[in-house]
Amino acid sequence: MAIAAAKGRLIAVIGDEDTCVGFLLGGIGEMNKNRQPNFMVVDKNTSISEVEECFKRFLKRDDIDIILINQNVAEMIRHVIDNHNEPIPAVLEIPSKDHPYDASKDSILRRAKGMFSAEDTK
């Protein structure tokens, strides 16, 4: 994708009810007749494929530059997130009320893990 300046891009949220309500309260929510909303509430009944489909839809949209996702939800679709290598939209894993942030699970931070091995110190 061409690197071009863009204004008024959205922040999307995929997370549990409190996370979504919180960010919507904060003002990131958008919904209009033509598009789907830029948020998705994930609860215990939500299937992995629903989350995956939503994530992929957000990736395809050209008006979303950041996707915030609860880390425990990200775990459900880890393989999809690991395969996302474009800078835009940026995917940021965040903690939820019940699941603290774990840096070792973060898809992006894990890229550094393979970088340094014992070989390098020779």
118 touches other proteins by CB under 8 A = no
97 touches other proteins by CB under 8 A = yes
Cβ 73 to other proteins shortest distance, Å: 15
113 touches other proteins by CB under 8 A = no
Q: Are 55 and 79 in contact (CB under 8 A)?
A: no
- H/E segment holding residue 94: strand 90-94
Cβ 31 to other proteins shortest distance, Å: 4
Peptide bond into 89 cis (omega under 30): yes
Closest CA to 76 of 60, 93, 61, 64: 93
Q: Are 47 and 77 in contact (CB under 8 A)?
A: no
65 touches other proteins by CB under 8 A = yes
Tell me the Ramachandran region of residue 76: left when phi exceeds 0, alpha when psi lies from -120 to 50, beta otherwise.
Answer: alpha
Residue from 44, 45, 60, 87 that binds other proteins (CB under 8 A)? 87
Q: How many CB atoms lie within 10 A of CB 71?
A: 20
Residue from 44, 112, 118, 121 that binds other proteins (CB under 8 A)? 112
68 touches other proteins by CB under 8 A = yes
Which residues are at the interface with other proteins (CB under 8 A)?
A: 3-11, 17-18, 20-33, 37-38, 41, 65-66, 68, 87-88, 90, 92, 94-95, 97, 100-101, 103, 108-109, 111-112, 115-116, 120
